[in-house]
Chain A
């Protein structure tokens, strides 16, 4: 693309200036402190501040030191987080993409679109804590799901949904899916809506069927938005916190198999405001997310 060179460059700086000013004033200091703190012993014992005292990489060493059984906790929680994220995000993105196509297809011409689009977005409006209270009632040992299971004769004793790894993870993923698939659908829909309609018309005139249109027109033009969806879903997933936190009361039951990285981080912040360890965990989450995002970004944007 040809540019007239000199005259426009300054506008780039001017346009991005407010963002960077706001960032500097409000976010820069705490974020730099996060990284800085990860090399310090810095926590509170009751109301007494301990440190900050420089300790080099000791916080990191502590995080990667195996416990008595040889487990490295942070790796376990990183694994939990990935599993929980994949369980929720993969169906979420696929179904959202499908729905976005349904809604924007002129051939299908779905009736009651506004209704469906409103309804699927509604779970996102409920606070996570209220949502998990409802789930708890539904799936408790004396709740309707167990009553149904027992009435159908599938099990004599109630199934303790909150004591098994599979069911707890399943419930967390289901909640995350319900809370976010409408959101993703709308994002993708807006992406498809933004595509120049004349391209679809042209494809139609050229005799392309809907599958061809999707792969040859919609998907390539939607790629940037899809990249966004996948990367932000990944960032959100790696920072997953509220749903497992409230559903398991912070314990990540059973056997901490639904403890996520940020729940782990939150344990350090909760009792002792341990900015040293919390900072180190943040840096690790930062590195993991950064590497994964880079891989996704590269592999998805290279294709075209």
Chain B
């Protein structure tokens, strides 16, 4: 009895070790694949325009600082200003999108009202409409009303984000029992307070995920901003990168472009690392027992 038990546990241990090895191999392979593209980006950011034109290179060259300096001092763009603009738009969009999506999802998840199903179906339907065409229509309206160079035109539409809403709704379905809400009501909590102080903390991992995603999406957004933000002091990072790429031949420098692409990733990476920590911390263990 005792013997077979220890044999069992030994076998289980061996199994676990094999499993671990397989898992690490898969992880390292995928990580290498992902890092490789970054490494290439880095290599190209360390080469001159002429060196980049020669094609692939496995090893970095020594022009990293030079490219950084050239990009930083380029007359057509103001990198700190662009980063600030991008950060402002992306951060506000991310917060608005995430908060209001959770609010909407909660409204539909937690309450019974006549139009509940109709509202849900409607949001699901508009989620399916291709964005390309409505984006062009949006641009035309903006020009008609003279709304160029206004950040809020890019930020406020984020309040209605069907995809984020859908995620929040699904997340609530798997983690948010009605009992919690009802318990709060018994305690005499107002509806908004229940949402802000009890529901939101339980959604922390989901909120973090959607904050990251909407931040990244907004940060990399080129199409709408490029047509709406035409003033130098209003431009965002992707527009500035595009501007470097459409420079005339005497100033065209892919080294600068790659350098700026690399630079533009850093702030997003920091935001990601900070936020992704709360995906782990947000575990709801214990809060829902009974």
Contacts and interface: CB of A to CB of B under 8 A. Distances in A.
Interface of A: 1, 3, 8-16, 18-23, 25-27, 29-31, 33-34, 95, 98-99, 102, 107-108, 110, 114-127, 130-131, 134, 137-138, 140, 142-144, 178, 181-183, 186-187, 189-191, 193-198, 221-225, 227-228, 231-232, 235, 239, 241, 262, 265-266, 269, 273, 275, 278-279, 282, 285-286, 289-290, 293
Contacts of B175: 194-196
Contact of A144 (B56, B123, B134, B280): B56
Nearest to A15: B107
A127 B238 contact: yes
A190 B205 contact: yes
Q: Which of B55, B156, B195 has the most CB of A within 10 A?
A: B55
A194 B281 CA distance: 10
B128 interface: yes
B37 A178 contact: yes
A131 to B, nearest CB: 7
Contacts of A126: 37-38, 41, 261, 265
A16 B20 CA distance: 46
B75 interface: no
Contacts of A183: 213
4 interchain residue pairs of minimum CB distance: A15-B107, A30-B137, A12-B111, A22-B159
Contact of B128 (A23, A138, A178, A293): A293
Given A34-B129, A197-B283, A228 B41 contact: no
Contacts of B273: 114, 118
Given A265-B130, A286-B130, A18 B100 contact: yes
A268 to B, nearest CB: 9
Contacts of B174: 191, 194-195, 221-225
B19 interface: yes
Contact of B160 (A10, A22, A99, A120): A22
A128 to B, nearest CB: 9
B16 A107 contact: yes
Contacts of B131: 239
A224 B130 contact: no
A144 B209 contact: no
Main DSSP-derived SS at the A contact region: helix
A278 B129 CA distance: 12
12 contacts: A12-B108, A15-B195, A16-B104, A22-B159, A27-B134, A95-B30, A125-B272, A131-B37, A224-B173, A228-B170, A235-B128, A262-B132
Contacts of A223: 174
Contacts of A269: 132-133, 136
Interface in B148-184: 156-160, 163, 165-167, 170-171, 173-175, 178
Given A127-B241, A193-B283, A290-B125, A116 B31 contact: yes
B84 interface: no
B269 interface: yes
Interface of B: 16, 19-20, 23-24, 26-27, 30-31, 33-35, 37-38, 40-41, 44, 55-56, 58, 100-101, 103-104, 106-108, 110-116, 119, 123-138, 141, 156-160, 163, 165-167, 170-171, 173-175, 178, 191, 195, 202, 205-206, 208-209, 212-213, 216, 220, 222, 238, 241, 258, 261, 265, 268-269, 272-273, 276-277, 279-280, 282-286, 288-289
Given A31-B129, A118-B272, 6 more contacts: A14-B107, A19-B159, A34-B134, A102-B27, A182-B34, A286-B130
Nearest to B165: A19
Contact of B130 (A21, A222, A262): A262
A77 to B, nearest CB: 13
A21 B96 CA distance: 14
A22 B135 CA distance: 15
Given A125-B269, A198-B285, A279 B31 contact: no
A15 B55 contact: no
B205 A194 contact: yes
A187 B268 contact: no
A216 to B, nearest CB: 15
B288 to A, nearest CB: 5
B111 A15 contact: yes
A13 B129 contact: no
A224 B277 CA distance: 23
A59 to B, nearest CB: 13
A197 B111 contact: no
Given A18-B103, A235-B128, A286-B129, A273 B136 contact: yes
Given A31-B129, A127-B241, A232-B166, A122 B269 contact: yes
Contacts of B288: 196
Contact of A232 (B106, B119, B163, B286): B163
Contact of A15 (B106, B133, B208, B212): B106
B107 A16 contact: yes
Given A225-B170, A275-B136, A117 B127 contact: no
Contact of B113 (A12, A186, A197, A222): A12
Given A30-B134, A34-B133, A225-B170, A15 B126 contact: no
A144 B55 CA distance: 9
Contact of B137 (A11, A33, A186, A227): A33
